Each structure stands twice: as C-alpha cells, then as structure tokens.
Amino acid sequence: MARKKQIEEEKKVNTFIVSYSSLVTILLAFFICMTTMATIIEEKVKRGFLSIRTSFGVAGGQVSPVEGTFGPLEEIVLEGVDHQAIILLEQFIKRHFLNGEVRLGMTKRGLVLALNADLVFSPGSARLNPRIYPVLDRAAMLIASCKNQVVIEGHTDAVPIKSSRFPSNWELSIARAVSVLRYFVDEKGLAKKRFVAVGYGSTRPLFPNDTPAHRAKNRRVWIVLKGTPRPVKRTAAKEVSIRGFVFKIREFLR
C-alpha cells in the first residue's frame, strides 16, 4: 500500500515538471520571436527622439540648449504671480489652440508663453495679426496682476531674408519682439520699464532647420514672465470620517 502511494506521488511530481518545462519553453519561444521581430530603424529613432521634445525642450545635434518645463502648471507656482491667473490662461489656450500654436509652460526662468510666429505674423513681416490679440489680451491681464519683469524673445528659422526693411533675420526677430512689446505698452498701458525685447535670429533653434515642419517650429516668439518657480506645498493630511469610512484630505498651499 505504501509502495503504491509512493509511485502516485512520483507521478504527480513528474507531471508538474513537465508542465513547468512546457511553460518555460513557450515563454522562451515568445521572447525569441519578439526579439527577432524588433527592427531598429535609425531614421525612425531620430524622428521619435525629436517628437518627444516640446517647444521648451532640447532637440539634439547642433541645436542650442533651451530649458525644459518643470511639469504640470497645477503643481508649480511662480513667485509674485497669482497661480489661479496662470491656470485661467492655460485653460483659455487649451480651449482655443488645440493644435499647439500657443503653449504655456514653467521653466527655470519663469513662465513662458510660446507663440508660433506663423500665427502671430505674416511671412517676412513684423506686423501683428489680429487673430493673436485675444491671447495677448489675456497675457496682458496676467502681467498687469503682478510686478514681475517680462522678456520678449523673437526667433526665426535659418532661411536667409533680405528686404529693404529687414536685411537679415536678426532685424526681423527683434522687430517682431518689439511689436509684441509695443502692443502691451501702447495698447494695454503696461509699464514699459517692465519689458525687455530681444532678437536672436536663427541662433537658438529648437529643431534642426532641415524640414519645413522643423523650420516652422523654430519661428516663434516667447513671452517670458520672469520669476522663481516652486512646487505647490502640501500640508499634513486631515482625516474625515463619513458614515464609518475614513478619508484623508490634503490641503494645497501656494
């Protein structure tokens, strides 16, 4: 009787080993297939690398470094600026500019409002397009609500320009920055001493100037509301009991 029981136990052990070996073999075959199917294409890798870079990132190659954003604006506040005013501007941009022509982000220098130059100006021109007025109007409200300094930066692509008014991209970029500055000062009555206009020409590209899409991203105007960013502070969690269930509530401080 004991001999029979021992034989049955050996059969059970052997059955487990066979099942386990089969499973391992199947998994090994699966990963071998996945490995052989994975093909690395250099061009696709480059495109993917560039695609994850935003207008506040670093594109690589010979592209000049530009500071990156810190994270969601809900989690970052700017010293001297009402946080709710920033969130309202962000919400307006998301509602009306879903294609990314206008972007808002927090960098180490402060809050950056990035405008696609093709939206703001006609090609080769420094005259503001009226369709950008609503964005500038709301940006002016934010600027008026604080005392932070503002830097307006003009950027172009690397395609040479030569006209009677703009001998080069240097002149075009600074003229575009000044046009935005004058709108804030002349049209919105903001104090001129708070503003600085800078023209970088094509010296600080976000992407290589190798395709029309990349050149379009390099043509831009940045409005930088300077200040020290810092994360939202959280207080200790408070416990609230509701019908026997205990919930923890965190308060957010700015």
Helices 133-144, 83-96: crossing angle, 10 deg rounding? 170
Distance CA 175, CA 163 (A): 13
What pLDDT shows up at residue 50?
46
Where would I find the H helices in 99-218?
Answer: 117-120, 133-144, 169-182, 212-218
Q: Which fold has domain 68-233?
A: 60s Ribosomal Protein L30; Chain: A; (3.30.1330)
Q: Consecutive 10-residue runs of the chain (254 residues): their mean pLDDT?
A: 54 61 74 58 45 43 52 90 94 86 93 96 95 96 96 96 90 97 97 97 94 95 95 63 55 46
CA distance 110 to 80: 11
Domain boundaries, the chain: 68-233
Separation of alpha carbons 227 and 243, rounded Å: 46
Q: Is the pTM of this model over 0.75?
A: no
Find out whether 127 and 179 touch, Cβ atoms under 8 Å: yes
CB-CB neighbours of 208 under 10 Å: 17
Question: Quick check: 69 and 53 in contact, CB under 8 A?
Answer: no
Backbone angles phi, psi at 93, to 5 degrees: -65, -45
